[in-house]
Chains A and B, each alone.
Chain A
Amino acid sequence: MSESSRTGQKDLLGRELSEEEREVLDLYQRLRKLAARSDLAPCISMNAKQAMVMLWNACTDLGLIHEEAEVD
C-alpha cells in the first residue's frame, strides 16, 4: 500500500474519507508513533500499544489501511 493512501484522504478503494474516518485514521497514526517509541514509561507505552491495535481494527475494518503495525 502506498504512503499516500495511508496518510492521505482516500481509502484503499480510492474513495474520499468521511470526517469520522479521517479522525479515526489520524488517531491510529498518532498512536502508532507513540507505540513505536522506546523512551516512555510502561504505563504510557503499553497502553498506547493496546489502544493502537484497537484503532488498527477500526481502520482495517473501514478499508483505510492494510498494514502490519509491527510496533505492538
Chain B
Amino acid sequence: MVEQHWPAYWNPKQETLPKEELHALQGIKLQGHVQRAWQQSPFHRRLYESAGLTPDKIKGLDDLRRLPFMTRENWMACQAEQPMFGDMLTRDVDDAIRYHLTSGTSGRQPLRVLDSRKDWAWIAEMWCYGFWGFGIRPSDRVFFAFSYGSFIGFWGAHYCCEKIGCMVLPSGNMTTEGRVKQLVEMAATVVCATPTYALRMGQVAAELGIDLAKDGKVRRLIVSGEPAVPATRKLLEEMWGAKVGDTAGMTEIGTIMIFECEQQPGGTHIIEDHFIEEVIDPETLEPVPMGGRGERIVTSFGRGFIPLIRYRTRDLVQRIPHDSCSCGRTGDIYQGGILGRVDDMKCIRGTNVYPRAVETIIREYADIEEFQILLTREAGIRDEITVQVELKPDSAESWQKLEKNLGKDLAEAHEGLRFNLSKAAEGELPRFELKAKRMQDRRGD
C-alpha cells in the first residue's frame, strides 16, 4: 500500500481558524440554531418565552448569555410529562435511526435521545476530529472494549474508525480474558476503553502471563467515560507501553466535544467550530475567567433532533488558552480534561473531599488493585470516610505498612482528616466496564 502523507488535523481549515473568526462562525451558527429550536421544538419555545426572549434578539455570540439554561431537570420533567421523549424533538420520531439512553450512573431517570441519519453521521464526525488529532490513521487496528448496548459510549467512535479506514475490532459481550487474548492475537494498535477498564484489562493480562507492553502492539489507548487522573494515566502508559489520549463526551450531545491531541498538552482541546463551551460559577451563574474552575455549559450545533443550547452539564473543568499547546489548534483546552462533577465534592467533618483527589493518591500505590470509598454517619451525627482497598493477588506488601502510609498520605492531602482503611478480600470489590462508581454516600440511609 502506498503511504499517503496526511495533515495533522482532521479539518485543517477550521481547527486552526483565528479566534475572532471562530467566534464569528459560532455566532452565525447560534443564530440559526436558536431560530430552528424556536420554530420546531415546543420545549425550547416555552423556555424562551418564559425568559421573555425571541430568536431575533440573538444576533451573535455576544447574545449567548441572554439565552436561559437547559438543565437535566427540565429535560427529565419534559420527558415525564410527555413520555417517552417529551416535546423537545424537532422532527417526527419515525425519522430517527438511533435510540440511546444516558448511563444512569447518577441513579436518576435516564434521558432518552434520538438521532437522525444526519445526526448519527455527525456524531461519528466529531470522534474523527479526536481520533485523527491523536494520531489514528487508516493503517491502525482499533479494538473496542465496549459492550455495544443502549449506552452511547464508543458507538460513534466505532463509525469514526470505519470512516477513517481503520480495521475495527469490536468485542461486544466478550469476557475480559477473551478481549485481552484477541487484541494481542489481532495485533491491535489502538484500544478504546474507560480508564478503569483499561486498568482491568492490564490486570487480567498479567494474570494470563501477558505483558501488554512487550507482547502487544498497542501504541495508543483512547479513554473516555470517566475522568483520567494523571496517576492513572501514568499507570496505564506503563502497563500498555502506549500513549494515553483522553476524550470526553456525553449522551446529551451524542458524541465527544473535547479530545487530547498528539502533543499531549495535559488537557483536551474543545472542538469549537461545532460547540460553544462556557465555564460558569455554579452558584452565581457568572462566567469564570480563563484559568478558573467552574461548571461547563455546552451548546452543540450537530444534533438536529434535539437542540442542545446552553445545557448545564455539572462537569467541573478548568479552561486554559489554546496556545498553551504547540499543536496549532485554536480550540481552547480543558486542563486535565473533565475534572469531575461539580456536585462530586463531599464535606466530611468540615473538610472537602473529591473522589478524584483520593484516586490520585491511591494510584500511587502499585499494590492496590481496586478500591471503594464509603461515607457513613455514625450515631446520627459524626461523618466517617472509609476506603476499602483490595490488593493485587501477588502483592507482597504488608497490609499494616500500606494502611499506615496510605492513611498518612490521605490525611495530609485533606487537612488532617482521618480516613478509615479496610482490607477487602480478593475479588470482593466491584469491577467496571463503563463508568466506575467508587464512592457510596450512605449518610442519608
A residues at B contact (CB < 8 Å): 1, 12-13, 49-50, 53-54, 56-57, 60-63, 66-70, 72
Contacts and interface: CB of A to CB of B under 8 A. Distances in A.
A48 to B, nearest CB: 11
Contact of A61 (B24, B273, B304): B273
Nearest to B40: A68
Nearest to A54: B121
Nearest to B116: A72
A68 to B, nearest CB: 4
Interface of B: 10-11, 13-14, 21, 24-25, 28-29, 32-33, 36, 90-91, 95, 116-118, 120-122, 125, 273-274, 301-302, 304
B117 A49 contact: yes
Contacts of A50: 117
B25 A61 contact: no
B101 to A, nearest CB: 22
Contact of B32 (A49, A56, A67, A72): A67
B28 A72 contact: no
Nearest to A69: B118
Contact of A62 (B14, B24, B32, B120): B14
A61 B302 CA distance: 11
Contacts of A72: 95, 116-118
Given A61-B273, A63-B14, A53 B118 contact: yes
Contact of A60 (B90, B117, B122): B122
Centre residue among A12, A50, A57, A69 by max chain B CB count within 10 A: A57
Contacts, number: 56
B192 to A, nearest CB: 21
Nearest to B302: A60
Given A57-B122, A61-B125, A66 B28 contact: yes
Contacts of B36: 68
A38 to B, nearest CB: 14
B21 A13 contact: yes
Contact of B28 (A1, A68, A69): A1
The 5 closest A-B pairs by CB, nearest first: A72-B117, A53-B121, A68-B304, A53-B118, A72-B118
A57 B121 CA distance: 7
A66 B32 contact: yes
Given A13-B21, A56-B121, A72-B118, A61 B14 contact: yes
Nearest to B305: A68
Contacts of B304: 68, 70
Contacts of B90: 68
A42 to B, nearest CB: 14
A72 B114 CA distance: 14
Contacts of B274: 60
A69 B125 CA distance: 16
Given A60-B122, A68-B36, A12 B28 contact: yes
A50 B162 CA distance: 14
A72 B13 CA distance: 26
Given A12-B25, A53-B118, A60-B122, A70 B91 contact: yes
